[in-house]
Structure 1
């Protein structure tokens, strides 16, 4: 309980002070006149003025409040490496016991995990939010149990109400090795090198090392190993092997003595794009579908088309002199010997042997495919004749043999069972236009009967389920055969038409070995930390997928069939980092966020970022590895840390429970005292 005297004047303040001035004047006059009782009159005036001031005694009933110590505990990913988690638990237990030993002191513990996305450790954000929830006048100390690596220093409180201390995890001899990709483009042009800048850097008390092994793998293929220097930038020229997404994986071995291997790998995803798709279209003779092929290819601005139509075959004898013809000579040698490797795709449209292309040129086309090229044959009656391309050196690579029979009747192309699962034709039936009898493609009116060769993939069928579209691999290249020359009817919209453009686009991309059109593939797409895993296969079933986490743990996932040949599942990954997927046959890698998240950019414990805040509050820094520490009470403004101890500032906060106000004297007592003094002054002056 405390008591104070308060004044509540009965008159306005200015009037009270005026009365004081008048009283002083009269007392001064009495002194000047040397009246014997002047001092009694002065006391009487003072008593009357005190009565007008109305003094009262105010008593407060106070309940003391406890002091609050706030502890922010870092539970981020970097705090779970080595022995840091156990160190943090031991330090927190010690802090709890020390606070419990203090009188009238409470401990508030706030735990901070990994932030969403790749924002890192938001330590100061948590501290600011914790202080906002506590009365500033009761906060006696602030403690950070962390490795000192935070990523929101700009969010620190503007002022700290108490000493700030850091208790750091880790060991003095900690060291770590980190692989950094400093620049990587999101896309690159095929055939042109792109330069990546890599760096392998050692942090902390690292052993002296000249070079370390570095492995590089593309799309999970056979890794290549190199010896590279440490703590130096490495310029690495890379030429992408194929179009579409190329996944480049870099890794350096993890040593037992380093803190973590989470930052020893990096993944770069570069989308390979073709500058131009160079296509050679050779039409054996003019026909209605020829212009359709040409218009389709020319409609794509990324296609460079070279088109030749044989209008005057050698056997044609019409008596017109050669120098009067306006036709362009077919540059066979230049196209099929000197520059054949410059083309990405060669299309033969109703072409048959007429002596224009000698066998050596046709054999060179076979070699071109065997070395990785692509050939599409759009067959008409020419393919069933004695002059068929199948009866040339190209016959070894073609996927189906003609029987010499040609069907001239209407039929509707259909996808085979394999075609419904193959990425080239998967889902094409969904684009079928509406007809009188429901959705369906328009009819064709000619089909060349062929017998498919072993291992040939039949994606479309025609009359009596005979092969219509056949695909095959030959050496490093790919070949496709369309056993009809009436696909142009789809482009003309006959009976509703069909997806000619989409079919041709997919076919060309499959022949260009684009990854998204591979028959057997395991892929993953990430949205934040949610992963969509897709297994594409020509089989009826697929096995489980094993996912290896960044920390080495594994999760087995079962995929569900969502469409013929496509199996999927959606999985929420527990953390950012590099994940490896395999089903025993196919492999894939995916990085959620960066391969080494922000948490693992700097893993050596350090108070460097915290020092400005700690010094400003005269706090201190201790290492968990040094053992136990003590808490001491220190006065505000004094040093709050020393060897083996950290200080808290008692706040002495309280809350007022009750207030009582009692007059010092009743009004009649003031009047009685004043009257007695006045009478006493009169009597004294009367004796004089």
Structure 2
């Protein structure tokens, strides 16, 4: 609002330099003083004449300005960050801002500048940057127009140093209610890595804030789940840090979700959950490799396992069967005895994987031991069978109690001819063999033949119960995978994988295939056939659903505010569906397809905005004290009263807040008129001098 007002003032525009005018004034003063001292008649008139001459030289003018008075600006800074979206605070903000604008509108010459502060979705955890927003808005207008600032907030700001000074009072209108209370979960210490199977200790604390009802004081209900699995329930004491021992179930990323039950009356449940991703590291992967006889591919297995420094390999090769009679005394043999009882009865559960490489029945491992191996798999162990020609004969391990867990049975036929291993349709979707063509030395041929070398032997099997992911000669099963209760078993129906490592006909990805096989049997999450996972990059979330089925995955995304929405996915490769969406706010996002669940988090699961949710003035007190501002609770004063106060006076009182009128203006036109015309000055000077002469003549 602008007002046009005329203003007058007397100014001087000397005809001579000011220094010379000052010298003449001193000379005139000296002569007048001398005349007074000598008591000369007419000294006063002569002094007056000199003053009139000096006045004429100073040339007084009447300056006339056309002034356009500018409006006084009052900043209304509204906190619309996430913490202001809980309970009745949005209604309080809407009503309070409307009342303030109406009040400012009744003050003549005042103008409202509304500044809304929201969380920046591009910043992981920026908090409430109110004072920085006020400083930025104030820098865009002249300082002499700022009459005050009104902050509508809960007081939980995170940029207190951003406002060094302010030329007018800064007031706070506090949202929230005196009866507010909230409970939050705080993870004070958690490792980034932990050893699989060994306890890891986390430090947690459940905090209560505000006016906590007596019915829920003291105890909280905590649930913990790993990778979206069944939750473990605990009752913990609030306000006290406690240690929680957990054991990671697998290697790789273990996503731990902690949730404190939401009680009635809490401000928000956004700070009742937390998600941690702890990378599980296997201390020493213990692998037992039993080679039934020396052969060309035996070193392939050994090189693969020994190349990984985290693998603790126990390898036995049976060189001399018990029934062999060659006349050599046992004491002269340099080989150690096979500790069968110790390995297969007493310490079998210490191994993560058992590999039978061309093993045949020779009486070394009796049926009791093989039965123990089958039980070991059912309890969660893993077995990999690399078959040789003996697998189809009378010495086959398929004729032992191990047969109860084998996914395929031999027919006694050994196919001795060259063939190129092919990935089956199911294998194109299975993580063990998907994209294995990318590791081939040559691209796939036009007829679909993979670009790797042939194998020359296949043990025929029938009625596979598991998943046939690779086929060999005559489209017979080559690689079969299966789950048995809690464990896993893999069968490779050939002992010629070593031909790839030797570069036969170009070779092939033998090490990659065997590495995936070993890690699949050891339940690495990245090689799970059925898996729902999410990755976060900034505020973009990519959801991946892996499945062996042909059906499109229907994903439901539940946001931090509890709202659910469907997510469209598209099949980017066989067995892999991908969907993407943008997270609109920081916090925990839950993913579900009906069978599996996963969780991802943008920023911290309990954002900075929800660390402290109680309305509090402590962080704004220094700013109010420095500017003379005050505060009111919107709960008590839904319509704050504004008053005009002079600068330096008290700017707040009971139920009212003050703004300072600044009277800023701009001059649109300036006109100057001589105070006395020149002829009038001449007449006055002449008249005074004549009067002085006449006075002396008397």
TM-score, reference length from structure 2: 0.95
Distance apart, 1:461 and its partner CA: 0.3
Q: Is 2:204 the counterpart of 1:198?
A: yes
Q: Is 2:503 the counterpart of 1:493?
A: yes
The secondary structure found in structure 2 opposite 1:635 is coil
Partner of 1:451: 462
Q: How far apart, in 2, do the equivalents of 1:6 and 1:436 lie?
A: 97
Q: Is 2:627 the counterpart of 1:588?
A: no
Pick which of 47-56 and 571-580 moved more: 47-56
Distance apart, 1:86 and its partner CA: 0.7
Partner of 1:625: 635
Describe how 1:328-347 pairs up with structure 2 within 5 A: 328-347=336-355
Partner of 2:681: 670
Aligned mate of 1:528, from 526, 533, 538: 538
Aligned mate of 2:24, from 16, 19, 24: 19
Q: How far apart, in 2, do the equivalents of 1:123 and 1:183 lie?
A: 31
Partner of 1:187: 193
Aligned mate of 2:55, from 50, 70, 73: 50
Distance apart, 1:471 and its partner CA: 0.7
Q: Is 2:172 the counterpart of 1:166?
A: yes
Q: How far apart, in 1, do the equivalents of 2:412 and 2:676 lie?
A: 133
Q: Is 2:652 the counterpart of 1:641?
A: yes
Q: Is 2:329 the counterpart of 1:324?
A: no
Q: How far apart, in 2, do the equivalents of 1:444 and 1:359 lie?
A: 32
Describe how 1:475-494 pairs up with structure 2 within 5 A: 475-494=485-504
Q: How far apart, in 1, do the equivalents of 2:117 and 2:463 lie?
A: 64
Query: Deviation string for 1:244-292 (max 9, x for gaps)?
Result: 2212222222122221122222222212111221111111111111112
- Kept after mapping to 2: 8 A contact 1:433/1:440: yes
- Kept after mapping to 2: 8 A contact 1:60/1:656: yes
Distance apart, 1:28 and its partner CA: 2.5
Q: How far apart, in 1, do the equivalents of 2:533 and 2:409 lie?
A: 35
Pick which of 490-499 and 64-73 moved more: 490-499
- Kept after mapping to 1: 8 A contact 2:124/2:602: no
- Kept after mapping to 1: 8 A contact 2:169/2:628: yes
Q: Is 2:562 the counterpart of 1:555?
A: no
Q: Is 2:514 the counterpart of 1:509?
A: no
Q: How far apart, in 2, do the equivalents of 1:141 and 1:32 lie?
A: 61
Aligned mate of 2:368, from 360, 364, 372: 360
- Kept after mapping to 2: 8 A contact 1:211/1:228: yes
Query: Deviation string for 1:337-390 (max 9, x for gaps)?
Result: 222221111111111111222222222211211111111111111211110111
Query: Deviation string for 1:143-170 (max 9, x for gaps)?
Result: 0111111111121x21111111111111
Q: Is 2:154 the counterpart of 1:143?
A: no
Describe how 1:191-590 pairs up with structure 2 within 5 A: 191-208=197-214, 209-434=217-442, 440-454=451-465, 456-590=466-600
Q: Is 2:126 the counterpart of 1:119?
A: yes
Distance apart, 1:668 and its partner CA: 4.5
The secondary structure found in structure 2 opposite 1:178 is strand
Distance apart, 1:527 and its partner CA: 1.4
Distance apart, 1:2 and its partner CA: 2.4
The secondary structure found in structure 2 opposite 1:312 is coil
Q: How far apart, in 2, do the equivalents of 1:665 and 1:652 lie?
A: 32
Distance apart, 1:633 and its partner CA: 1.0
Distance apart, 1:434 and its partner CA: 2.0
Query: Deviation string for 1:432-457 (max 9, x for gaps)?
Result: 21279676011111111111433x11
The secondary structure found in structure 1 opposite 2:514 is helix
Aligned mate of 1:34, from 33, 39, 49: 39
- Kept after mapping to 2: 8 A contact 1:524/1:534: yes
Q: How far apart, in 2, do the equivalents of 1:274 and 1:256 lie?
A: 43
The secondary structure found in structure 2 opposite 1:434 is coil
Q: How far apart, in 2, do the equivalents of 1:569 and 1:652 lie?
A: 59
The secondary structure found in structure 2 opposite 1:421 is coil
- Kept after mapping to 2: 8 A contact 1:169/1:624: yes
Pick which of 52-61 and 561-570 moved more: 52-61
Distance apart, 1:582 and its partner CA: 1.3
Query: Deviation string for 1:112-160 (max 9, x for gaps)?
Result: 11233211111111111111112211111210111111111121x2111
Pick which of 211-220 and 170-179 moved more: 211-220
- Kept after mapping to 2: 8 A contact 1:211/1:229: yes
Q: How far apart, in 1, do the equivalents of 2:45 and 2:613 lie?
A: 84
The secondary structure found in structure 1 opposite 2:426 is helix
Distance apart, 1:15 and its partner CA: 2.2
Partner of 2:135: 128
Partner of 1:3: 8
RMSD over aligned Cα, in angstroms?
Answer: 1.7
Distance apart, 1:612 and its partner CA: 1.7
TM-score, reference length from structure 1: 0.97
Q: How far apart, in 2, do the equivalents of 1:243 and 1:452 lie?
A: 33
Distance apart, 1:625 and its partner CA: 1.2
Distance apart, 1:663 and its partner CA: 2.5
- Kept after mapping to 1: 8 A contact 2:79/2:117: yes
Distance apart, 1:666 and its partner CA: 4.2
Q: Is 2:187 the counterpart of 1:176?
A: no
Pick which of 23-32 and 486-495 moved more: 23-32
Alignment gaps of 5+ in structure 1:
none
Pick which of 539-548 and 2-11 moved more: 2-11
The secondary structure found in structure 2 opposite 1:179 is strand
Distance apart, 1:616 and its partner CA: 2.1
Pick which of 511-520 and 661-670 moved more: 661-670
Q: How far apart, in 2, do the equivalents of 1:611 and 1:349 lie?
A: 75
Query: Deviation string for 1:401-433 (max 9, x for gaps)?
Result: 111111111110000011000011111112221
Q: How far apart, in 1, do the equivalents of 2:591 and 2:567 lie?
A: 10
The secondary structure found in structure 1 opposite 2:686 is helix
Query: Deviation string for 1:611-657 (max 9, x for gaps)?
Result: 22112222211111113221111111111111111111111111111
- Kept after mapping to 2: 8 A contact 1:632/1:648: yes
- Kept after mapping to 2: 8 A contact 1:452/1:467: no
Q: Is 2:77 the counterpart of 1:67?
A: no
- Kept after mapping to 1: 8 A contact 2:442/2:451: yes
- Kept after mapping to 1: 8 A contact 2:444/2:451: no
Aligned mate of 1:657, from 657, 668, 683: 668
Q: How far apart, in 1, do the equivalents of 2:659 and 2:36 lie?
A: 60
Distance apart, 1:678 and its partner CA: 2.5
Pick which of 219-228 and 231-240 moved more: 219-228
Distance apart, 1:576 and its partner CA: 1.4
